[in-house]
Structure 1
Amino acid sequence: MPALHTILLLVASNVFMTIAWYGHLKNLATAPWWVAALVSWCIALAEYLLQVPANRIGYQQAGFSVGQLKIMQEVITLSVFVPFAVIYLGEPLKLDYLWAGLCLVGAVYFIFRAA
């Protein structure tokens, strides 16, 4: 169960992170940069409140290594970012997202394989 909690917390933290980092490009496009930064920092607080326990649970209870946690984070980041960019920001879906995802699949393989 700690592994599932880790993954769910990482997904939730990534939703907040993606909104904090990129949501202002649409929502606060005409606001001064410092307003966007302050709003983003407030949203990012929620991300940290989920990210820190996710890493602690994953490392201390689920037995993930730091490298495994980082690669999981990157895979989840891309999994959250692509739909956000395409659906919310209206970015075109590019084949490059697939190639990046395949590179991450390789990273997952190497970080989780039995050495």
Structure 2
Amino acid sequence: MNPILISISLLVISNVFMTFAWYAHLKELNSAPWFVAAIISWLVASLEYMFQVPANRIGYAVFSVGQLKIIQEVITLSIFIPFAVFYLKEPLKLDYLWAGLCMIGAAYFMFRDKIS
């Protein structure tokens, strides 16, 4: 299978876990002490690393480390926005669009040598 698709797929999965690890406790464990939320978040985050580490190792064969980081950030924003809007019930703001446009710009600069 294509290492680009494998790497990106694993990064998507890892980002779903990390988004829940970082933010789901704000809704689900709101009344729990912070250290309980931290322990549960670390347990979820440990699953994230099981996908993130191989994603970066596989991706590093075809991407630079800077390109991997930008891919990670684009995926993070792509997962975070629906999570914030649909799971945490945050309002959808134009700020997400502006942030996305900035990420497109960042991706362009990191990948422009492969485009031209």
Q: Normalised by the size of structure 2, how large is the TM-score?
A: 0.96
Q: Which runs of 5+ in 2 are unaligned?
A: none
4+ aligned runs moved over 6 Å, structure 1: none
Q: Deviations over 1:15-45 (max 9, x none)?
A: 0000000000000000000000000000000
**Following the alignment from structure 1 to structure 2, what is the Cα–Cα distance between the partners of residues 102 and 113?**
16
Aligned-pair Cα RMSD in Å: 0.8
**Following the alignment from structure 2 to structure 1, what is the Cα–Cα distance between the partners of residues 87 and 113?**
39
The one-letter code sitting in structure 2 at the alignment partner of 1:74 is E
The one-letter code sitting in structure 2 at the alignment partner of 1:10 is L
Matched, 1:112 2:78: no
**Following the alignment from structure 2 to structure 1, what is the Cα–Cα distance between the partners of residues 72 and 113?**
20
The one-letter code sitting in structure 1 at the alignment partner of 2:102 is C
The one-letter code sitting in structure 2 at the alignment partner of 1:88 is Y
SS of 1:8's partner is helix
Q: How many Å apart are 1:52 and its aligned residue?
A: 0.4
Q: How many Å apart are 1:91 and its aligned residue?
A: 0.1
In percent, how many aligned pairs have the same letter?
71
**Matched residue, 1:37:** 38
The one-letter code sitting in structure 2 at the alignment partner of 1:66 is V
**Matched residue, 1:88:** 87
Q: Which runs of 5+ in 1 are unaligned?
A: none
Aligned length: 113
Q: Deviations over 1:44-100 (max 9, x none)?
A: 00111100000000002xx10000000000000000000000000000000000000
**Following the alignment from structure 1 to structure 2, what is the Cα–Cα distance between the partners of residues 113 and 58?**
18
**Following the alignment from structure 1 to structure 2, what is the Cα–Cα distance between the partners of residues 113 and 17?**
29
